[in-house]
Structure 1
């Protein structure tokens, strides 16, 4: 028995050595590392749909780096990565097999998946539905289900081709924009493929994703795309999206502004937490949205020499202003959009049961929704000045 253990141990060492030698001989410039995915569609006059998959890949350059100097070998094992740039490889077809075949006709390296940063849906693709892509991604065990998912205006292929100064690819830039907007625009921490997969088929929920567009050759976060089932229904501009995110998400960060004119304004850097209460009376649902704000005044030209009594008055004023903004949004949500942007349906489902056949967008649009706001200001002195 002891001899067999020794034999298995030696065989394991040999296999590890052989694998390490094989991977060492494969230099980074001989592979393409995937940075981002893009999905587009094109409808023909005959009714067929051509799918376009765009792959943003990092292309690594190399330089000789051996001790032999002029007598160094030019083999891949004697080169090291010097730098990287990106390019976009496109596959077109009516099905996955055809797309991969066409993609490889112009690709001289193997793509390494699993670490891409962004999954980009064109607006046209999002409107026509993304369920096929989500199902496709989750049948591939190598796909990075934590990649940031966004909807873009125009073609995803075109956005992936944009060169951003200081970035190796537009994928890196887009990911940074979304991740860092969580501190100022009440965005949730994650908008990724796994998040889509979990929310898309959850009763009482509607999927949302960041919406980006290009302005003056710069990619910017322009709003939030709201989905009904797997199809994009609306794009909310950022002024509405901030209010939606504030009431939809829990424990998110952002900045609220109260402004009378160009000279008198107040900026409140805050974290907001929400709690939802739900009850049903005579088959009509009632929802109470409780929002708790805690933060600092970072800029203030509205109030001078604030004492303790005035601090309480300012907090009450801010509560009233925030409630007004929320109520205006809810009115638009129920009467203009007629959708549940706030995921209130899941609270009704949790309390009164699933699979009732209810259309939660209709139910919430015809429900009584009240908002209660509590504001706490930790610091009034930051940015306190007057003219």
Structure 2
């Protein structure tokens, strides 16, 4: 870690990474290129091994049901734009969603293909189960979409119950697990989720440019891209079989080598949840005592803290923290603009921890916010 620099933007991209990640990327770049489907080179199938490791983390039985791409945005667009909607289908989602959900839905709605319904969240950005059930019953959606956890407040939703309600009404379910995979347990198979989008560069500790989409067996999506797959080259259309159907072109082997290294490292070094939760509470309590208004949801949360400082805009606080205290954080709408309708503020400063965040960093952040709040 760079001397004196405080990094608290892990909900965007985790840092630092385990040393093995950069080493694996370097080996893949400097080594002989090739893949199992595309050359005669006898070598390790990084993509297959990565799928197997991800299947364990997602709680799904079949690794080949996981399509690998560049990030969760790719996965969400694939799920939304590739879903086989009927005429003027209704999509139920929430006001806590990221623009990677909002904008694809807007695109389809503008084209007259769907109607998007946005359900308000509670004051912490969590989806109220009772209101969700009412909305599912009222609108009879073909597809329901929700974030497993808010990237603004860290509030984790009850994915099992939300999925069960939607499935009982005949809807398909897409879960955005960008903020939870690698931090919170996921049991997509048990929940009955039809699709789960994820990224590799946050709490999985992998490089940027990695992510994907799990698709339940039996659900066929229309590909976003068409092109080479290395096999079935005599076909004019993309193959039906997963994951080839959704993966056109040469994959990012160096970055997925890094993600695989991160997944193996995490399996050998389990997250100490008690320590992480203690540090999260230390940050929340410290910020509140320093004079900040902290958005602190009760119940299960990811290591995210959003706050405001009276008398300052969120961007002003973020600028001061960066320029005067050498702290890397995030301020503004966090690409989730609709959630602020229920949070009682126009924007927030967001500090997000990782398993590598030290106590001294938390104390330094609290002290800096105290300086700002004290004028």
TM-score (norm 1): 0.19
- Answer 1 or 2: which has greater strand percent: 1
- Radius of gyration: which is bigger? 1
